[in-house]
Structure 1
Amino acid sequence: MIEARQFTLVTGGSSGIGRAICEALLAQGRSVLNLDYRAPAWHHDQLVSLQADLTKQDAIEAAAHEIASKYTVIALVNNAGATRPGSIDTANMADLDDVVGLHLRAPILLTQACLPALRASGQGRIVNISSRAALGKPERIVYSATKAGLIGLTRTLAQELGADGITVNAVAPGPIATELFKNSNPEGAPQTQRILDSILVKRLGTPEDVARAALFFLAPENGFVTGQVLYVCGGTTLGVAPI
């Protein structure tokens, strides 16, 4: 039986940027469907959470089938991701397979699953969470390559789906103070200070900064903005040629 509510689907919504996006949507009174490999440690009456390992194609396909058969999704946020640090000397294909699953395969399969409801709404919204690293970042070979691919996917989907009233945009965060970032860049460490020194506004971003950008693209009234990339980066992309 199909759930009567209309949902915004957010992948990787249990923590970090995904959680901030979910909470911002819930604060607007929306119903949110969270798809993550682990259940959230927080709850809300309008939040439904499903679990799936989005690095695995069979798990993505199973989740996509369940979502398409049970839920009406009128907006989709492809947020789930992983960095898998490594240079060209150390990158391995297992890491590549994982991030291709998260950053490309899952967005494509979930978009396909949600398309009927997105089209039927007349104002469907897709937001892909890319990264400033799409412009190039040492020690992030597989991450930057797939995040750049997500921008290409965004632009192509925008061209294919615009006539259906569906907008497709990307948010590309720079340094954001998530737990993952803090674990890799401890406070007071030299590399952390170098990152701070590169940020024009002299602070790290917050998950809420990214969530506010996503909300702009998700708003029903913002139907004349599509195929765009918004860098939420504190100015770190200035002077770098955009994709």
Structure 2
Amino acid sequence: MEGTKPVTVVTGGSGAIGSAVIASLAAQGHRVINVSLEETEKNDDAHFFAADLTDREATAEVLGRINREYRVDNLVNNAGFTYVTELQSLSFDRMQAMVDIHLRAAAQCIQAFAPAMAQNGRGRIVSIGSRMMLGRPGRMVYGMVKAGLLGMSRSLALELAHQGITVNMVSPGPIETALFRQNHPPGAPQTEKVLGAIPVGRIGTPEDVAHAVKFFLADESGFITGQNLFVCGGGSVGSAVM
């Protein structure tokens, strides 16, 4: 029955990873809500809510609408964008936008949906991190917000555990997207360098990330919380900072 399907909110569901997560969950019977700035192409697997998640008031408005129309069971914090800069070229306005979408919006979504999850005695929250939080030149802001997201997830895992809510994180390495292929054409030296640093010998796919998200959302994963799962083909193994 339609009413018994779990309701899952995916932020940033119009991108490559978000679309793969939505498709995977819809195939499993979830009623999926995509909260994104725009719907890049029509997706029959999800109900689309437009919102600029860098805007706190706009975010509050759309979260209120969702709460009035649905009882949310699961949340996937996937919205975000990258920002590559060296220290002396840093834009603090751009950094604030990164904090807003990766951290403030994630916290705002969790705050909005956790009460219904607690009332139901069961909830799943998964945030998308990045292997970049381990450190890389030019990724100081991106690494900062993703590391902050991990700290938030671990703290909230403890705070919400007694309510039946788990909070975990999935951190991808290099993933095959249109943007990745634009910057890393097949056979190019930079592509071969990336491949050489991945023990399994291939670039990840959005579906690899979706599989990890689906694992954390499962009913059977109720004893797993406060964890970060790298989906990186082994690229994070041996890194000094874990």
Indicate the TM-score class for this superposition, using the shorter chain for normalisation: over 0.9
Secondary structure at the residue paired with 1:41? coil
Say which SS state the counterpart of residue 49 (structure 1) adopts: strand
- Counterpart Cα distance in 1 of 2:121 and 2:50: 29
Offset from partner CA, 1:179-212 (integer Å, 9 cap, x none) = 2222233333322221111011111000000000
Of 177-186 and 200-209, deviating more is 177-186
The answer to whether structure 1 residue 35 and structure 2 residue 32 are counterparts is: no
**What is the rounded CA distance, in whole Å, between the counterparts of 1:43 and 1:235 in structure 2?**
32
Question: What's the counterpart of residue 186 of structure 1?
Answer: 185
SS at match of 2:76: strand
- Which residue in 1 is equivalent to 2:98? 99
Question: 1-side partners of 2:90 and 2:191: how far apart?
Answer: 23
Aligned mates of 2:224, 2:4 — CA distance in 1: 29
1:103 and 1:78 map into 2 onto residues whose CA distance is 8
- Number of the residue aligned with 1:26: 26
Structure 2: 5+ residue stretches without partners: none
User: What is the deviation of 1:66?
Assistant: 1.7
- Number of residues of Structure 1 aligned to a counterpart in Structure 2: 240
Conserved? CA contact 1:170–1:230, under 8 Å = yes
**What are the within-5 Å matches in structure 2 for residues 82-97 of structure 1?**
82-97=81-96
TM-score (norm 2): 0.94
Q: Distance in 2 between matches of 1:113 and 1:52?
A: 15
* Other structure's SS at 1:150 match: helix
SS in 1 for 2:174: coil
Q: How far apart are 1:4 and its partner, in Å? A: 8.8
Question: Which moves more between the two structures, 205-214 or 232-241?
Answer: 232-241
Structure 1 pair 87/112, CA: closer, same or farther in 2 (3 Å)? Answer: same
TM-score (norm 1): 0.94
Residue 238 in structure 1 maps to residue 237 in structure 2: yes
Using the TM superposition, name which of 215-224 and 88-97 deviates more: 88-97
Aligned 8 A contact 2:169 2:229 in 1: yes
Aligned to 2:122: 123
User: Would the aligned equivalents of 2:153 and 2:226 in 1 still touch at CA under 8 Å?
Assistant: yes
Q: Over aligned residue pairs, what C-alpha RMSD do you find?
A: 1.6
Q: Give the secondary-structure state (helix, strand or coil) at the position aligned to 2:151.
A: helix
Q: How does 1:1-243 map to 2 (within 5 A)?
A: 6-44=6-44, 47-243=46-242
Q: Distance in 1 between matches of 2:54 and 2:190?
A: 29
Change (3 A) 1:198 1:37: same
State the shift of 1:101 in Å. Answer: 1.3
In the TM superposition, residue 5 of structure 1 has moved relative to its aligned partner by 6.3
Q: 2: distance between equivalents of 1:50 and 1:22?
A: 14
Query: Residues 77 and 232 (structure 1 numbering): CA distance in 2 closer, same or farther, change over 3 Å?
Result: same
- 2: distance between equivalents of 1:93 and 1:186? 32
Q: 1:190-239 CA distances to partner (integer Å, 9 max, x unpaired)?
A: 22221111011111000000000000000012100000000000111011
1:15-38 C-alpha deviation (Å, 9 max, x unpaired): 210110000000001100000111
The alignment-based identity, stated in percent, is: 46
Q: Deviations over 1:125-168 (max 9, x none)?
A: 00000000111121111111001100001100101000000000
Distance in 1 separating the partners of 2:5 and 2:236: 39
Letter in 1 for 2:22: C
Alpha-carbon shift at residue 40 of structure 1 (Å): 4.2
Any conservation in 2 of the 1:54–1:106 contact (CA below 8 Å)? yes
Deviation at 1:14, TM superposition (A): 1.2
